[in-house]
A and B are shown apart, each in its own frame.
Chain A
Amino acid sequence: MSRGIVLVAQNNKESNYLDQAYALALSIKLQSKDTNVCLITDTDDFKNCYDHTVILKDDLAKDKDWKIQNRYKVFEHTPYDETIVMDVDMLVLNNIDHWWEMLSTEDLFFVTDVKTYRNEKINDQYYRKTFIENNLPNIYSGVYYFKKNNFVKKFFMLVEDIMKNFDEYNNMLCDTTKQKWVSYDVCTAFACKILDVNISNIPITFTHMKPRIQNWNNHHTRWTAALDIEFTNDCRLYLDNFLQKDVFHYTEKNFLTSTIIERLEQCTI
């Protein structure tokens, strides 16, 4: 059984998601050099440190600014029997090889609990009102896992249909606090609800850096302006003197500096 991590990245005018994917792939390789990493993208112009690459032929996000329209295609394009999918604005800061064993009993898994940079479980629902108020599975598609089988195929076919007909599903499944734009978190939550997918409470999590959910008394619009960031020569990350571990979802693109990428390159190569 082949296993690997798949990243989907397409640049837009404002953001270099391919650089983010490259940094994430380097961080994965730094922690576990034998882990397979696959990039799904729309161009052949990228820094290559991947084991597999897939160039999208039918790019549904061609004219879009926020390019999430192709994300359901991971099922079709993954070269692996077991796949972990990660948002590209993440870094892997510890070895996560044990995740494969933890996930081996599942067909499909989404992270349901996330934590702050101080390792506190996030209970704040500021960004999750659509999920809570409409009784949707409170899942995070920032990290998910699937096996290639018929059930999961059906799941992704449904996600495709939801993404292409978002307003209809949104009206059908949300009475209040509707998501106003197509969100992959919401689309996958719709699919889980329709198919009654039982998401296990496997303790796989990631650090979620959206600023409103960091258990601060004072509000900061950007965490990168609120915290001291230290990325050491040996690629350890400290935020206000807290050593970051496991998977770090930075969410703010200005976090990823050329210095961080250079240090990842130096440590990996």
Chain B
Amino acid sequence: MSKGILLFAHNNSDIDYIKQAVFCASRIKQFLGLQVSLVTSSVDYAKSIIKDEIDNIIEVEIPKSNNNKTFRDGLYAQKKLPWNNAGRAMCYDLSPYEQTIVIDTDFIINSSNLLKCFDSGKNLLINKDWVDVKHNRVTSMKRITDTGVAMYWATVFYFTKSTQNKILFDLILHIQENYDFYRLKYKIVETKFRNDYAFSIALHILNGFSPLEDISIPGNLWQTLDKDILIDMKDTGLLFLLEKDSEYYPARIKDTDVHIMNKYSLGRCTNV
């Protein structure tokens, strides 16, 4: 069975997701030793900066989206930018692997933890929860609304090529294409499309409109917030300034995969 990682990268005016992807791929090679495929609309630019980190570039058109999102750089800087997050539904058809892990490019691999997915015996793994690296600041959304279905986080997920997963990703695409309907049906207040919501709704529907058993990726999904600042990276150690109540606290994390919400600080630390 072929195994590999699929990354999606579509740049906007400020965030160079392709450079993030190249950095992410270098960590994948170092810690997981897996093949990496990059899905992007900027093939020429990608080729110009890739050395040997990425094995396969898959060209797609930039997804049609009117999504905008506020990107923060710590407490004191923020900017509203286009957010091209609409390609995930295609990952089943795009992936060249029989067993695929899809990772956000701002997810820093610091361990071999994700390799456990391949031995799980499951067709699909996706986290139902995430953990704040500075505990007790915010609690992870457990549900897409207070009265609604369980929230699943599409930051990192694992799938095999199977009929069931083909149906799942087709359904996610259908939800994406009819997002206004599903947003109202599931009482989601936020108007911008989010993969997390589309995945959560699709998983609920495919399980017979019933709650699923836990299909989380082994280990915790650690996350920093966009008000936090990544200061330094050395080997598997990450140095942060973590914000709480407008104060910053230094913290070091080692040997742990972490999702970095402050893309600007990630760019500075990885020199991308």
Contacts and interface: CB of A to CB of B under 8 A. Distances in A.
A217 interface: yes
- Chain A contact residues: over half helix, strand or loop, or mixed? loop
A242 interface: yes
Contact of A226 (B147, B185, B205, B209): B147
A126 interface: no
B146 A241 contact: no
B146 A218 contact: yes
Given A241-B185, A241-B204, A118 B146 contact: no
A243 B210 contact: yes
Contacts of B210: 119, 242-243, 245
Interface in B145-173: 146-149
A214 B145 CA distance: 13
A216 interface: yes
- Chain B contact residues: over half helix, strand or loop, or mixed? loop
A227 interface: yes
A238 interface: yes
B211 interface: yes
Interface residues of A, number: 16
A227 B204 CA distance: 17
A242 B149 contact: yes
Interface in A211-269: 214, 216-218, 226-228, 238, 240-243, 245
Interface in B173-192: 185-187
A217 B209 contact: no
A214 B149 CA distance: 13
Interface string B199-215: 00000110011110000
Contact of A216 (B147, B186, B205, B208): B147
Contacts of A216: 146-147
Contacts of A242: 149, 209-211
B187 A240 contact: yes
Contacts of B205: 241
Contact of B209 (A120, A227, A228, A238): A238
Closest 10 CB pairs of A and B: A243-B209, A240-B147, A217-B146, A218-B146, A216-B146, A119-B211, A240-B148, A227-B147, A226-B147, A243-B210
25 contacts: A118-B211, A119-B210, A214-B147, A216-B147, A218-B146, A227-B147, A228-B187, A238-B209, A240-B147, A240-B148, A240-B149, A240-B187, A241-B148, A241-B149, A241-B185, A241-B186, A241-B204, A241-B209, A242-B149, A242-B209, A242-B210, A243-B208, A243-B209, A243-B210, A245-B210
Given A216-B146, A218-B146, A240-B147, 11 more contacts: A118-B211, A214-B147, A226-B147, A228-B187, A238-B209, A240-B149, A240-B187, A241-B149, A241-B185, A241-B209, A242-B149
